[in-house]
Amino acid sequence: MPMAGGRLTRRAMLKQAALFGRRAALLGVVGLLVACQQPTSPPKPSDATPVPPRPTPQPTATLIRPVGDPKPAARATPQAGPPRPGGALVWATDSDPLDLDPHAGGSVTGAAAWADLTYQSLVMFDEQMRLAPALAEAWVMTDPTTWTFTLRQGVRFHDGSELEAEDVRAWFDRLRAPETNSPHRGWYSQVVKVEPRGRYEVTFTLNAPYAPLLATLASLRGSAIAPRRWLSRAPDTKLRAVGSGPYRIVAYVPGSHVAYEKHADYWERGLPLLDRLTMRIVPAEAARIEQLRAAAADRAAAVDRAAAADDAVTGAGGLSEDTAKRLRTDRTLTVLASASASQTITTLNTRRAPFDDLRVRQALALAADRRAALSRLLGEDGQLTGPIPTGFGSWALALEDLPTRRDVPQARRLLAEAGHADGFEAAIRTGEDALSKGVSALLADQLREVGITLRVEPLPAAEFARAVQARDFELVTGKLGFLPDPDAYLSGLYHSHGGQNAAGWSSKAFDDLVNAARTVMDPGQRKALYDEASNLLLAEAPAIWWFTEHTLEAVSSTLRGYAPAFSGRRAALKGAWIAR
């Protein structure tokens, strides 16, 4: 970080020189790497255990531990003998899916209802956020802009039809059709055409090299494959779904529930284990916990009577920290904490004075106490973060490399040099969620020490979204959820032409780094480029990256084999089972 007068110490200058030297070297080899790309087809996996294709980053394990346990547990729910098929699971959620259409629907809650459970794509994420084969069993990049996918043979959709290359082409045609009006179309703007090559092979032609392609497909943001004949009959895709996943949706009653049944012809051998799932829509947390306790009590009594396989086990997700702490003493329940992509970020409008001055932005970054915010607002249920969320495999900066030291005297010196020795007043806009408001209020307290007065202005959701989109703010605090690839956290949010660049910040050096990272497939080279880009962001301070939250969930203690996912989805339910 800079010292007085905006100058760097000798040590910092040497470190920055090394960083920029490495950046130049990395950018210098990009052309060579593109010219020498290696095929990225994975070994053919077994039916039971897909083998992650190369190249992929080797991520750190998702943190999964009971609340109050300082040591991460190896599994979210303990094993008790071999998995047993059968049984039914009910889980309570606070959000209605609203729309089951995987291409036209844009809601996060809708995707949570069908992603990985009902609909799948060519590629998927495994439990450690590695890329793994799904409906495509192999792929190869024959040149920098041509990918050929070999489909898994014998995959059956829920309507009984077999997956074929024409279904993949039908997906792409529907995604980009004007009448679909897909909010996900932009994720695939690099794809020029999708062409079948026989019954089980399909080729993607891109307009430029694009390393995030596989992760984008795995994200299921508009990439779900449905049977083309079913789609051609113009079904009610808002209320019905026909995919290839481990569970088929047999009923969706808005405001009430979504009912699932086991897909008997599912392609992963031996999965799923549960016969039925029911997602109950229960907005109030207290009501969700009441249902959870009642079901857990019924289950415990049923176990004593040698229960049948159909006895329900209930899970409730999305707990508040206080509720999770209260539940951890209940022996009929297990409270889980897992790393998530949910970041809390304060963005500075760099196109408005005084935040167009680097010294002012750096002063705010130095005056912000991130560790205090994490401790006060989340306790131990979160982690400090940089631009790429902590926990996203090995893509994120290491915790020890994050600039977390608070330096109030240096912040004052920078403000004085920028002509604000007496401070200034500004407004910080925030969403209505408690965490964003809490961070904004805490930042206002911390900035008083350097003479800055912040007015906290909570806004309703729609008004907040409009303000961010129009850059109608000086500072704004909000939350960012899961994005499928590190490119989305950097290019989309901070590139000079990024579609979500609310800060209005621009840097050619940064643009060059993320542009280059899009063109190389080697994960080590991409990681090095993203580290450089993240460090440049931290030095330029167009935002203050606070922390990521942990996902807190309470489940019946009889549930086995379930782990929350970093992405927020529930793919692990296909391997969950009930101890009886």
For residues 403-413, average pLDDT: 95
Most confident of 11-15, 38-42, 96-100, 315-319: 96-100
Confidence of residue 311 (pLDDT cuts 50, 70, 90): very low
The SS3 call for residue 461 is helix
Query: Which residue matches tokens 């408690």?
Result: 434
Name which of 407, 344, 352, 365 is nearest 540 in CA terms.
365
- Residues 482 and 567: beta-carbon distance below 8 Å: yes
For residue 580, pLDDT over 50 is answered with: yes
pLDDT single digits (tens) 215-269: 999 999 999 999 999 999 978 999 999 999 999 999 999 999 999 999 999 999 9
Share of the chain above pLDDT 90, in %: 66
Q: What are phi and psi of 371, to 5 degrees?
A: -65, -40
- 55-59, 219-223, 248-252, 341-345: least confidently modelled range: 55-59
Q: How confident is the model at residue 335 (pLDDT cuts 50, 70, 90)?
A: confident
pLDDT tens per residue, range 3-39? 333 434 434 434 444 454 555 445 544 443 333 343 3
Q: What is the pLDDT of residue 44?
A: 35
Backbone angles phi, psi at 26, to 5 degrees: -65, -45
pLDDT value of residue 279: 92
Q: Residue 316: its pLDDT value, please?
A: 56
pLDDT digits 0-9 by tens, 131-149? 999 999 999 999 999 999 9
C-beta of residue 420 within 8 angstroms of C-beta of residue 84: no
Question: Other CB atoms closer than 10 Å to residue 486's CB: what's the count?
Answer: 28
The confidence score (pLDDT) of residue 315 equals 53
Tokens 């994960």 sit on residue? 523
Q: Helices marked H in 384-485 — which ranges?
A: 408-417, 434-447, 461-469
Integer CA distances (angstroms), 459 to 181, 201, 346, 491, 542, in order: 28, 50, 15, 27, 22
Q: At what angle do helices 358-367 and 523-540 cross, to 10 degrees?
A: 100
The per-residue pLDDT of the chain, averaged, comes to 84
pLDDT at 317: 58
Query: 58 versus 425: which is more confidently predicted?
Result: 425
Residues 572, 45, 213, 129, CA torsion sign: positive
Q: Which two tokens stand for residue 473?
A: 């703010």
Express as a percent the part of the chain with pLDDT over 70.
82
Side-chain-side CA neighbours of 164 within 13 Å: the count stands at 10
Q: Provide the pLDDT confidence category of residue 309 given band limits of 50, 70 and 90.
A: very low
Beta bridge partners of 344: 479, 547
For residue 97, pLDDT over 60 is answered with: yes
Residue 324 pLDDT? 83
How many contiguous H segments (helices) and E segments (strands) does the chain have?
15, 20
Strands 424-430 and 452-458: parallel
343 forms beta bridges with 480, 548
Q: How far apart are CA 530 and CA 541, in angstroms?
A: 16
pLDDT at 303 > cutoff 50: no
Instruction: Provide the pLDDT for residue 301.
Output: 29
Q: Which amino acid is at 62?
A: T
**More reliable by pLDDT, 309 or 390:** 390
| Strand 424-430 relative to strand 475-480, pairing | parallel
Task: Say which amino acid occupies 8.
Answer: L
User: Going by DSSP bridges, is the β-strand pair 191-196/146-151 parallel, antiparallel, or unpaired?
Assistant: unpaired
- Which of residues 287 and 116 earns the better pLDDT score? 116
> Rounded to whole angstroms, how far apart are CA atoms 214 and 130?
11
Widest Cα–Cα separation across the chain: 76
Q: Which of 34-38, 128-132, 352-356, 456-460 has the lowest mean pLDDT?
A: 34-38
DSSP H/E element including 359: helix 358-367
At position 446, the amino acid (one-letter code) is: Q
User: Do residues 551 and 337 make contact, with C-beta atoms less than 8 angstroms apart?
Assistant: yes
Q: Give me the DSSP letters along 280-300.
A: EE---HHHHHHHHHHHHHHHH
Q: Range with the lowest mean pLDDT among 80-84, 142-146, 428-432, 576-580? A: 80-84
